[in-house]
A and B are shown apart, each in its own frame.
Chain A
Amino acid sequence: DTGVSQNPRHKITKRGQNVTFRCDPISEHNRLYWYRQTLGQGPEFLTYFQNEAQLEKSRLLSDRFSAERPKGSFSTLEIQRTEQGDSAMYLCASSLQGEKLFFGSGTQLSVL
């Protein structure tokens, strides 16, 4: 399978803990996006990278959220000091210089 891969698929954590999610995009895609999706809503844009450069991060939900794409390949999304309101599906998508986004299956985060 050469699609977008996200790990873990599910994460359960206690409030106040830090969590990190990984995304491996389609190999030739240079753009990588992070979205958040809550129940009954469409995906909500968080941030995106072109190669290793993070070109938009103003829509990250708070300073507890950060993302990296150190070598322009895989990316990580970290949430520090998790809160119950952070419980959601975190989706990663990649694209090749265009609007056609290919999404992974997401990481479902539950904060207890």
Chain B
Amino acid sequence: QQQVKQSPQSLIVQKGGISIINCAYENTAFDYFPWYQQFPGKGPALLIAIRPDVSEKKEGRFTISFNKSAKQFSLHIMDSQPGDSATYFCAANNNNDMRFGAGTRLTVKP
């Protein structure tokens, strides 16, 4: 049962553009929503995370928007750079049960 649904599967963005990745969840008990970045041959690395009591969190070029009523959250990457090309995973956690989305492969073209 996929508890976290992520879209799109792949995304191509021009350098300097905005990358937007969306996730939806079902379990309202989830209380922590991180985004992970993964490069080939490496494990996922935490990028940014949010709790459901806030609607937005920004760290540098990365912003999470969170809509609790719709059970959706998204990652926005501003001024996308070729070095941002990677696979991005959203996740949702409840009591040490972290569920991951299927991932979005982002390609930023120079």
A binds B: yes
A74 beta carbon closer than 8 Å to chain B: no
Number of residues in B with C-beta < 8 Å to the partner?
23
Q: A42-B100, A44-B100 are in contact. Are A100 and B49 (CB under 8 A)?
A: yes
Instruction: Check B100–A93 contact: CB distance below 8 A.
Output: no
> Which of A13-21, A65-73, A75-83, A103-111 lies on the face that meets chain B?
A103-111
Chain A residues within an 8 Å CB radius of B91: 42
Instruction: Check A45–B46 contact: CB distance below 8 A.
Output: no
The residue on A at minimum CB distance from B100 is: A42
B1-48 interface with A by 8 A CB criterion:
4, 6, 32, 34, 36, 41-46
Instruction: Check A102–B100 contact: CB distance below 8 A.
Output: no
Main secondary structure of the interface of B (DSSP, over half): strand
A101 beta carbon closer than 8 Å to chain B: yes
Instruction: Check B43–A42 contact: CB distance below 8 A.
Output: no
Name B residues whose Cβ lies closer than 8 Å to a Cβ of A: 4, 6, 32, 34, 36, 41-46, 49, 89, 91, 93, 96-103
Chain B residues within an 8 Å CB radius of A93: 43
Q: A31-B96, A100-B49, A105-B42 are known contacts; what are 19 more A-B pairs with Cβ within 8 Å?
A: A4-B43, A33-B98, A42-B6, A42-B89, A42-B100, A42-B102, A42-B103, A45-B99, A48-B96, A91-B44, A99-B49, A99-B96, A100-B34, A101-B34, A101-B46, A103-B43, A103-B45, A104-B43, A105-B43
Chain B residues within an 8 Å CB radius of A102: 46
Instruction: Check B99–A99 contact: CB distance below 8 A.
Output: no
Instruction: Check B96–A55 contact: CB distance below 8 A.
Output: yes
CB distance from B7 to the nearest CB of A (A): 13
A40 beta carbon closer than 8 Å to chain B: yes
Q: A56-B96, A99-B32, A99-B34 are in contact. Are A41 and B46 (CB under 8 A)?
A: no
